[in-house]
Structures are given as C-alpha cells and as structure tokens.
Amino acid sequence: MAIDWLRVTKKRSQLAQLSREVFDFLQGKDNVVLVNQIATPVISFYHKKLDAHLLVRALSGENIMARSGYLCCHYYLDHVMHYPPLARISLGLHNRESDVKKLIAVLDRALD
C-alpha cells in the first residue's frame, strides 16, 4: 500500500511538471490568451485569430483529445466574461512526457 502511494505521489509530481510545460508553451505563443492564471492539469485558452472548435478538431486529427466551447459554463464565459469559445486541454496521471511533446509539436504547427 505504501509503495502504491509513493508511485501516485511521483506521478502527481510528474503531472505538475507536464502541466507547467504546456502552460509555459502556451504562455509564450502570440495571440494565445490563457484563462488559467497558473499551471494546472486543466488548461483553458483561446487564440485571438483561430476558432477554438477548428483548433480542437486539428488536435483530434492527431489523436489528441481536447474540448472546445463554453465547457458547461456558457452563460458565465460568454455573457459575463465575454470570452470566445475556449479550447481546453486536460492532462492526467496517465499522460507521459511523449504525450506532452506531441501536443506541443501539434499546437506549435496549428498556432503559427
């Protein structure tokens, strides 16, 4: 049982690092507006010139799962915050460094 706990703790540390990599990448891209103020495993953003639905569809074409839209907060995000539809990336304990490298490579191509 203790070994299992240690493994999960290591994975959480790894998840925090992977989240930071994606967050830092997006933060450095022109025209990307992050909704998150800090790196977390769930990162929501929009691009000032690209439709979030098309961006997520491009990710899907590369076997990367993501969501787009107002993500169960339609009234607040649309009418209060006045955001366009968002793209949302969710990382989990199952994700590996190779997953994040692929995500960043695909996003780099799509966002340029």
Contact 45, 34 (CB under 8 A): yes
Domain borders along the chain are 2-111
Burial (0-12, 13-18, 19+ Cβ within 10 Å), 10: exposed
Residue 88 has pLDDT above 60, yes or no: yes
Q: Report d(CA 86, CA 74) in Å as an integer.
A: 11
- Name the pLDDT band for 2 (thresholds 50, 70, 90): low
Q: From CA 62, how far away is CA 101, in angstroms rounded?
A: 13
Q: For 2-111, which CATH superfamily applies?
A: Aspartate Aminotransferase, domain 1 (3.90.1150.10)
More confident residue, 54 or 78: 54
The one-letter amino acid at 40:
T
pLDDT band at 50 (very low <50, low <70, confident <90, very high): very high
Say what the pLDDT of residue 94 is: 86
Torsion over CA of 53, 54, 59 and 64, rounded to 10 degrees?
Answer: 30
